[in-house]
Amino acid sequence: MNIKENIKKIIIKKPLTLDCGKTIENYPLAYETYGKLNEKKDNAILTFHALSGDQFVSGTNPITNKSGWWSHLVGPNKAIDTNKFFVICANVIGGCMGSYGPSNVDPTTSKTLGTNFPVITINDMVNAQYNLLEFFKIDKLFCVTGGSMGGMQALQFVANFPNKTKTAIPIACSASHSAQNIALNELGRQAIMADHNWNKGNYINTSLSPNKGLAVARMAAHITYLSKKGLQEKFGRKLQERDDLKFSFDADFQIESYLRHQGSVFVDRFDANSYLYITRAMDYFDLIKQYNGNLSNAFKESKTKFFIISFTSDWLYPTSENKEIVIALNASGADVGFIEIKSDKGHDSFLLDVPDFLKSVKNFLDANY
């Protein structure tokens, strides 16, 4: 995977002490922006990406030449209207699209960091991205938002910086990773580490990469982003370009071919070590534990107005987990709204063209701007 050098980056000189105890400084943070920051600097929306996302929210991703991951939501005249709002998104630290991550070179050894990169957390990601406010000289954001891991970052941001955003829209997320989700992430990590080419994370400088392991990890994860009903309606038991079963281990069924395709295209744009580090950060996320078992304490100092969104068919971050956040916000006295969107598209609903979702986000933003 070739990362073009024209990716926008800032070098963060300020030391950042990570939750693991290590300190980093002079590290790159890659970002992209959409729209224009107004004179009052009160129209900025900081968007956080999910596990497999990056800073290219809308338009055309210059690395993959595909549409940005939130193109349905962000852009001119869309729910997050870039004619009105200034949208910022950074590639998280630990990522592989220009920010400081395991693919970076250790200046002390001139070797790729690999698994010598420190284990990072959602808290670390958010603290690194806070530097963007100083870079753009923004005193207070209009909104922070994101889905899945992006929603976790939005929650962490408000907890860390209670008076630095007017509104927050955490989408399809939870306040701590469940045992089920930790197990699913571990399945993906083990697939990568079982690939001989992973070589204990030291594959960057070789001609080999753990593409098979990463592809399997992506295939397994992708299933969790969908719903049973959605899969059945789209694929059922349809055969892949054949009239009958071939009695082999080739992809007889369309769903098999679809998953193999998802795995194969993913390895062209993502780094296996980054997958390990980011999923680990998700598993370590526990905002409840950070506040001594009382989630409401995370928001007691905040005046931020919240809008929590979940989806009926999302079994990865179900409505029940999103409602736990709502209950905690109510207990803290926060201003909070909640909606469960009916959709058969599973967890991926927040990335897709789901009209009720797009309309809900637009109405909330317009009502509060």
Active-site amino acid positions: 148, 314, 347
Distance (Å, whole) CA 10 – CA 29? 5
Task: Specify which residues 165 forms β-bridges with.
Answer: 141
Residue that is written with structure tokens 């030391």 in the block: 15
- Reduce the secondary structure of the chain to three states and give it as a string: CCCCCCCCEEEECCCEECCCCCEECCEEEEEEEECCCCCCCCCEEEECCCCCCCCCCCCECCCCCCECCCCCCEECCCCEECCCCEEEEECCCCCCCCCCCCCCEECCCCEECHHHCCCCCHHHHHHHHCHHHHHCCCCCEEEEEEECHHHHHHHHHHHHCCCCEEEEEEECCCCECCHHHHHHHHHHHHHHHCCHHHHHHCCCCCCCCCHHHHHHHHHHHHHHCCCHHHHHHHCCCCECCCCCCCCCCCCCEHHHHHHHHHHHHHCCCCCHHHHHHHHHHHHHCEHHHHCCCCHHHHCCCCCCEEEEEEECCCCCCCHHHHHHHHHHHHHCCCEEEEEEECCCCHHHHHHCCCHHHHHHHHHHHHHHC
CA distance 364 to 366: 6
- Report the distance separating Cα 49 and Cα 149, nearest Å: 7
- With contact defined as beta carbons under 8 Å apart, do 325 and 308 qualify? yes
Q: Quick check: 41 and 138 in contact, CB under 8 A?
A: yes
